[in-house]
Amino acid sequence: MAKGENKTNVMRILDAAKIKYRSHCYLESGAISGVDVARALGQNEDRVFKTLVTTAPKTKKYYVFVIPVARELDLKKAASAVGEKSIEMLHSKDLLPVTGYIHGGCSPIGMKKQFATVVHQSFESFENVMFSAGKIGWQVEMSPEDLKRIIPYSSADVVTVQ
């Protein structure tokens, strides 16, 4: 990527923190789903992650879950992982006001506020993982250890059984 061209806010945050990453563009591929994105980039779909935002109806808290693109969030397991009785997916219309991101371009880095974040237990088993760079058409690839330097997260089994 040429000097500052097409840099997303996520990339600028990583640059400012002096964290190594690689950016990947899939704009020309027509990919829509996370699995399509992984395929378009020639990546193992187990190491490409999607960012999901949930809310707890009782406490009105928001939680972020980062899971493999081919998997589904298990809301009961996810609620247990964050100490809530229940959680539900944040409605798409509420995503931008709460996080600053739109559906399909949500990243765990650079949200309006830092919410409790849980990554799937497989996340740290990879040397590098990929997730949204905060804009549709862009992914960043980095080590889980480097992500933990800027986003505190916990790890749990939060996906449905396949």
CA distance 37 to 30: 9
Give domain status of residue 3, yes or no: no
Closest by alpha carbon to 21, among 85, 110, 87? 110
**What is the tens place of the pLDDT at every residue in 59-70?**
999 999 999 999
Domain residues for the domain of 67 are: 9-156
Q: In the predicted model, what is the mean pLDDT of residues 147-157?
A: 96
CATH number at residue 51: 3.90.960.10
Give domain status of residue 1, yes or no: no
For residue 88, give the H/E element and its range: strand 88-89
Give domain status of residue 122, yes or no: yes
The DSSP-derived string for 139-157 is EEEE-HHHHHHHS-EEEE-
Give domain status of residue 162, yes or no: no
Give domain status of residue 4, yes or no: no
Overall number of domains in the chain: 1
**What is the tens place of the pLDDT at every residue in 97-109?**
999 999 999 999 9
Tokens linked to 100: 């600053």
Give domain status of residue 2, yes or no: no
